[in-house]
Amino acid sequence: MPWQQFVVYAIVAAAGFSLLTYWITKKFVLRKMNRTIMKAEHNYQQQISSLQQQLSGKVNMLEGMVNKLRLSNQELTRLNEIRSKFMSVVAHDLRQPLSSIQGFASILMMDSPQGGGNNDQIALNNILKATDNMNMLMADLMDISMIESGRFKVDGQPFSFNALVNDVVTLQAVNAQKKGIFLQKYDCPTDITVLADRFRISQVINNLIGNALKFAPQGGRVEVSFYKEGDHVTCKIADNGPGILHTEKEKIFQKFHQSDNDRNLKKQGWGLGLAIAQEIVLAHGGEIGVESAGLGQGAMFWFKLPQHPAVPLKRPDASVLQNK
């Protein structure tokens, strides 16, 4: 029948059109898509290669900077070792001639009790005072060099903290009397025994009281108190001196730092005493700090020690001091 033939022809035509469409799509469209994909992949590979080159350049630059930093650190370490050795040698070598000067001055005073005249007596006393100050300065240099080289030790033995404070205050009372400063000690009713290095802790207390006497005005007041707080002992030294700026509190325990409050007092030391005191306290597992309401309000230094350290006493960490 004609309509049946028409249907067959239509089906054949549709099939042929589909095959033609598939062939055209495969030959032209898919080929174009493949070219586009390949081009995009090529561009992507070029971008990756460019980024890899840039990254390689950055890595090389960073490695160069790291090497320079390593060399700089090595040089700084070498220079720091040289400086520590220099300070140690200077302090050690100067002590002998200072001792000789001190000894000869003492002999002259013994041979001539009247000093051969008032001027001679004054001169000999000044020589002895100067050598005492120089010996203390050399001792500070020796301590700093030992701390930085890791040779600074603290040895723990039980002792009465009350007796130690009493001994130090008794010695410092002479200096306080000379300056016309009232040195007040508040006794603790309980006897406190601590396991620590007695000589080094006395060094801390002497330094804090000495600083208070140095900065307190003539006719001023310095107060020393201590008490037991749990398993710790806390010691406080307060004065009515020029006080401390808030910004200076962060620097005051740095080595060679000196207060700007009185420039004339800078001639009396290296600015090492508080740095050494901090290292001693830290070596005992303790804490140290300062409080002040500001200029003209005085200052109160304090430190806290464990009565029985939880860990064996160790040497102070030299890196802590060097980074300050």
Q: So what's the pLDDT on residue 2?
A: 66
Provide the whole-model pTM.
0.61
Helix (H), strand (E) at residue 3: helix 2-24
Tokens of 79: 């220079």
Question: Residue 320 has which token pair?
Answer: 């802590």
Domain boundaries, the chain: 1-151, 157-322
CB 302 within 8 A of CB 236: yes
Please tell me the predicted confidence (pLDDT) of residue 319: 43
Which stretch of DSSP H or E encloses residue 22? helix 2-24
Summarize pLDDT for 93-112 with one digit per residue, the tens. Answer: 666 676 777 676 777 777 66
Tell me the average pLDDT across 166-180.
90
Distance of CA 139 to the CA centre of its chain: 20
The tens digit of pLDDT for each residue in 307-322 reads 887 655 655 444 444 4
Residue 283 CA to residue 195 CA, distance in Å, equals 12
CATH 2.40.30.10, domain 157-322, yes or no: no
Q: Residue 233: is its pLDDT beyond 60?
A: yes
Selection from 152, 233, 237 nearest residue 200 by Cα = 152
Q: Which of 162, 110, 102, 147 is nearest to 322 (CA)?
A: 147
Q: How are beta strands 182-186 and 221-229 bridged, if at all?
A: parallel
Burial of 288 (0-12, 13-18, 19+ CB in 10 A): buried
Contact 279, 316 (CB under 8 A): yes
